Structure 1
Amino acid sequence: MTESARWTRVDDGRFQVDLLTADYQRHAFTRHSHSTFAIGVVLCGEEQFHYRGELHRAGVGSLAILEPDEPHDGQAADPNGWAYRVFYPPADLLFEDGPRAHFADPVVHDPRSVHLIRSAHEELTAGADPFAAHSKLAWAMTAVARRHGDGRPAGPVLSPRDAAAARKIAEIRDRLTADLRCAPSLRELAAGVELSPFHLLRVFRDATGFPPHTWLVLERVCRARHLLAAGLTPAQVASGVGFADQAHLTRWFKRVTGVTPAAFRNSVQDPVRPAA
């Protein structure tokens, strides 16, 4: 059995959107999250993934919609694997003409939305008519938001106590990302926000879905994607974002993105842009 995966980056002058075209049999994504939405269409086979405490399955014709910062994994639901096309749009693109909504169901069955997403994805990755493809992208994103967003705010209203906890989490994140190459100790992090190490671990995991050390590794992968797209080599990126070596970067990068750093770099070097 063979597997294939290719990333494409599109740029319409306002937003950059990554696209994945993949066919997997054995690959399993480690538990991770995205800073963007993930909207995918299954073309054949079936994928399964854990999301918001439940196991979900997406088969042929399904539309999977995962929200930003929501931990999830992904693997084949049967020995035949699955093939799919995925968009990773920022929230500002998905809700460009209205307030951001919440998606209650991660897997929906809507032939019209599936057709719009698949058609836009195919045209953008082909690159034949970027202007038409970008128009289809905008139309598809608006349709998905309107047809499947439930109209409720994406985030809860925080109590003063919750707001104080959120500020502490933001401080911890800022401290971890200040220098990806040199992480502070757990005790240093805890002292900085006036929590015990155990309390910090609990509140951080409750808020993000990950313990701080795993969250930091995923941030390193995210930063590596940007640097690879900018043209840096995997060896340069590995040391620049805090991985022990290139092999360490490659192991984590493939577990999160489904491709090696070199393959990702080659795929996204020239973003698809609309015609002048």
Structure 2
Amino acid sequence: MSGSAQVKAWRPGIGGVVEVLHAYFPSHAYPSHTHDAWTVLIVDEGVVRYDLDHREHGLAQAQVSLLPPNVPHDGRSVRPEGFRKRVLYLEPDRLGAGLVGAAVDQPELVDPVLRHRIHQLHGVLADGQEDLEAQSRLALIEERLEQHLRRRVIDPPDRRDAGVARRLREVLDGHLPAGLTLDEAAELVHAHPTHLVRAFSREYGMPPHRYLTGRRVDLARRYLLDGRPATEVATLAGFYDQSHLTRHFRKMLGVTPGQFVKP
């Protein structure tokens, strides 16, 4: 593998899948961020290492990685030649309630049948002409993912300030894309601003402003996939202007908004 980053992203026409991403990154390292969707990841070339909820994990070609919604993670190549991956982003309600903790504890799945089914689904989605087949394959994949997770469900441990951090996250999500000041958030959550930042950073592994930026980038991805121009997307997603959007988009994904939707 060599050359520049390559990204192909689109929204397929089947329920449950909010985005499909095929990408090759020769050198890009994802900073810590979150998604509001389940992330189903397979690697076709190279090896990926990532931190999920303060713990390091690795993903090779034989595995499937399942990252839960709203849990911070990053990503980087283990090898100098980079990595090639394919990703399905599933709506947060596609997998049963109470399974986030199990995914956080063990996001890698060694299941050749599951990986092959995901590979097949990507082929059907890329073709874009067989909706019923895509829906059927997705149903089997979701069933198998749930089976893996339910085998290891345990009661989540109590963590200090988890409630404060969770309420702040809900406030940030509820004020997208415009955002709000820290003082405004503190008034809504009924906590001191400094305590808010510390609690949120301890719980989610990133400060509130970085979480908000990541959510705005997620919004920008959706608008770009809808075919809206980057100048309009910047405003819709809460960025000051197109250059502001491009700077954060490139930092997060390794490519510009234009490269993200390039055919």
Report if aligned partners of 1:5, 1:258 keep a CA contact under 8 Å in 2: no
Alpha-carbon distance in 1 for matches of 2:84, 2:199 = 37
Alpha-carbon distance in 1 for matches of 2:206, 2:147 = 31
Worse-matched range after superposition: 254-263 or 139-148: 254-263
SS in 1 for 2:47: strand
For 2:224, which of 217, 228, 231 is the aligned residue?
228
**Residue type of the alignment partner of 2:54:** G
Q: 1:56 to 1:239 in 2, by over 3 A?
A: same
Structure number with larger C-alpha Rg: 1
**Residue type of the alignment partner of 1:204:** F
Q: 1:168 to 1:41 in 2, by over 3 A?
A: closer
CA drift of 1:52 comes to: 2.2
Q: 1:258 to 1:87 in 2, by over 3 A?
A: farther
Report if aligned partners of 2:23, 2:86 keep a CA contact under 8 Å in 1: yes
Report if aligned partners of 1:6, 1:259 keep a CA contact under 8 Å in 2: no
Report if aligned partners of 2:53, 2:204 keep a CA contact under 8 Å in 1: no
Aligned residues: 257
Q: Report the TM-score, using the length of structure 2 for normalisation.
A: 0.85
Worse-matched range after superposition: 236-245 or 105-114: 236-245
CA drift of 1:39 comes to: 1.0
Q: 1:70 to 1:243 in 2, by over 3 A?
A: same
CA drift of 1:141 comes to: 1.8
Q: Any stretches of 5+ residues in structure 1 without a counterpart? A: 268-276
Render the CA deviation track for 1:113-166: whole Å, top value 9, x for unaligned: 11111111122122242321221122112112213443527x84989x965x36
CA drift of 1:173 comes to: 2.0
Residue 111 in structure 1 maps to residue 107 in structure 2: no
Alpha-carbon distance in 1 for matches of 2:66, 2:73 = 12
| Residue 59 of structure 1: aligned partner | 60
**Residue type of the alignment partner of 1:226:** R
CA drift of 1:73 comes to: 0.7
**Residue type of the alignment partner of 2:61:** V
Q: Any stretches of 5+ residues in structure 2 without a counterpart? A: none
CA drift of 1:76 comes to: 0.8
Alpha-carbon distance in 2 for matches of 1:175, 1:144 = 29
1:1-276 correspondence runs (5 A): 1-2=2-3, 3-12=5-14, 14-95=15-96, 99-101=97-99, 102-103=102-103, 104-150=105-151, 152=153, 156=156, 165=164, 168-169=167-168, 172-173=171-172, 176-177=175-176, 180-181=177-178, 183-266=179-262
